[in-house]
């Protein structure tokens, strides 16, 4: 495992230049990095993750100048978003110059998703390597995304060349993805940058919440395949159902994992109890703690079910509910179904 010392960053960059795969930190989740211009290196990422071949990859860059190597021109609206949100948790889909990137990166589409992360460590590594890197989350496909280097080690030990450890991530859910190639810019994946924030910069923005068909190539990650899910069933719980859900959980022969805010934990006298994971003091904290909690319970063989608090569908709650909804396959806990 590598640290953020200058020598280690030089080593990580050298690994990337040699076609190896290195996990890297961002403010959202840890990513799996390989030279985006090296097809054989990119194939190693797909192999390490067991990722479907038609799922395109985000291209992570160190600067806007690096994006300009691959596009004829950055659209004016996209430039406004770059000025407002980069470096940061926003991924922007644009058309790229044909032949500049392998179809394995783009899923064969004429578009590519670019991101310039807030992490200075990762920007430094990419700048040292002088090449953009692909950047899917550094987990086995379908499993909860990694928010610590230890999570990456759990999934990727022995499969990749190294992991850059920069501590726990700050945001905790993947970047917002916006498609700038549509008539009206369209959010394909909600994240820390909200629709309201985007519209304050460029005007009307659509939001697309659909699952891509079996024969369709998604423009962005998370639109087609099962994501973020532990091996046991996950159920979303709304605020009005917690009291009954906890009574049900306590009646089960096998332990049930409970993930909720400190307010819910205190109101239902769960503080200090085993099988309870705090999501903190609200939706911002919950975003940062969601994947870690799902991983915590996924590693406890005695847990048979996980109940997780859902928030209102507004602001950054949209990103949280999007990830939780996928982990739960859209399933809610209700007294009618369980009691």
pLDDT average per 10 residues of sequence, the chain (339 residues): 94 98 97 97 94 86 98 97 98 96 92 97 98 95 94 96 97 96 96 97 88 64 68 96 95 96 95 93 97 96 96 96 94 93
336 is in an annotated binding site: no
Q: What pLDDT, on a 0 to 100 scale, did the predictor assign at position 175?
A: 96
189 is in an annotated binding site: yes
320 is in an annotated binding site: no
Q: What pLDDT, on a 0 to 100 scale, did the predictor assign at position 339?
A: 79
Q: What is the largest CA-CA distance in the chain?
A: 62
**Please, where are the H alpha helices in the chain?**
6-17, 39-49, 64-67, 76-85, 103-106, 120-129, 149-156, 195-202, 242-251, 262-267, 283-298, 317-327, 335-338
Q: Where in the chain is the domain with CATH 3.90.870.10?
A: 6-207
228 is in an annotated binding site: yes
175 is in an annotated binding site: yes
305 is in an annotated binding site: no
Q: What are phi and psi of 139, to 5 degrees?
A: -135, 165
Q: What pLDDT, on a 0 to 100 scale, did the predictor assign at position 225?
A: 55
Q: What pLDDT, on a 0 to 100 scale, did the predictor assign at position 51?
A: 84
Q: What pLDDT, on a 0 to 100 scale, did the predictor assign at position 120?
A: 97
Q: What pLDDT, on a 0 to 100 scale, did the predictor assign at position 200?
A: 98
207 is in an annotated binding site: no
Q: What pLDDT, on a 0 to 100 scale, did the predictor assign at position 204?
A: 97
Q: What pLDDT, on a 0 to 100 scale, did the predictor assign at position 79?
A: 98
17 is in an annotated binding site: no
Q: What pLDDT, on a 0 to 100 scale, did the predictor assign at position 208?
A: 80
Cα atoms found within 13 Å of the Cα of residue 145, Cβ hemisphere only = 32
Q: Where in the chain is the domain with CATH 3.40.50.11030?
A: 234-338
Vertex 60: Cα angle to 38 and 124 (nearest 5): 100
170 is in an annotated binding site: no
Q: What pLDDT, on a 0 to 100 scale, did the predictor assign at position 94?
A: 97
CATH architecture under which domain 6-207 falls? Alpha-Beta Complex (3.90)
CA-closest candidate to residue 329, choices 230, 261, 252: 230
CATH architecture under which domain 234-338 falls? 3-Layer(aba) Sandwich (3.40)
63 is in an annotated binding site: no
CA-closest candidate to residue 46, choices 95, 103, 129: 103
Q: What pLDDT, on a 0 to 100 scale, did the predictor assign at position 223?
A: 63
Q: Residue 199 and residue 315: Cα distance in Å, rounded?
A: 12
**CB of 142 within 8 A of CB of 229?**
yes
3-state secondary structure of 245: helix
């Amino acid at each position: 495992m590598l640290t953020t010392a200058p020598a280690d960053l030089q080593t990580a960059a050298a690994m990337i230049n040699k076609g190896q795969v290195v996990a890297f930190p961002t403010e959202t989740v840890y990513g799996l990095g390989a030279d985006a211009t090296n097809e054989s290196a990119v194939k190693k990422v797909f192999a390490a993750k067991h990722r479907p071949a038609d799922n395109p990859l985000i291209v992570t860059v160190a600067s806007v100048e690096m994006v300009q190597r691959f596009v004829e021109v950055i659209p004016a609206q996209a430039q406004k978003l770059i000025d407002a949100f980069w470096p940061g948790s926003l991924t922007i889909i644009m058309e790229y110059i044909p032949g500049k990137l392998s179809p394995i990166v783009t899923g064969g589409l004429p578009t590519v998703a670019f991101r310039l992360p807030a992490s200075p460590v990762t920007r430094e590594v990419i700048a040292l390597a002088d090449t953009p890197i692909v950047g899917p989350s550094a987990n086995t496909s379908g499993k909860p995304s990694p928010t610590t280097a230890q999570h990456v080690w759990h999934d990727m030990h022995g499969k990749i060349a190294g992991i850059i450890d920069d501590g726990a991530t700050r945001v905790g859910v993947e970047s917002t993805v916006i498609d700038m190639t549509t008539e009206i810019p369209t959010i394909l994946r909600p994240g820390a940058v909200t629709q309201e924030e985007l519209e304050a910069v460029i005007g009307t923005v659509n939001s697309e919440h659909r699952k891509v068909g079996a024969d369709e190539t998604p423009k962005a990650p998370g639109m087609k395949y099962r994501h973020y899910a532990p091996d046991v069933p996950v159920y979303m719980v709304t605020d009005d159902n917690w009291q009954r859900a906890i009574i049900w959980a306590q009646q089960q022969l096998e332990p049930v994992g409970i993930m909720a805010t400190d307010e819910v934990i205190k109101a239902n006298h769960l503080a200090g109890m085993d099988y309870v994971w705090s999501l903190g003091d609200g939706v911002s904290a919950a975003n940062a703690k969601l994947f870690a909690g799902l991983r915590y319970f996924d590693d406890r063989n005695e847990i048979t079910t996980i109940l997780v608090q859902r928030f209102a569908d507004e602001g950054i709650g949209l990103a949280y509910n999007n990830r939780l909804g996928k982990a739960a396959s859209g399933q809610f806990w209700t007294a009618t179904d369980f009691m």
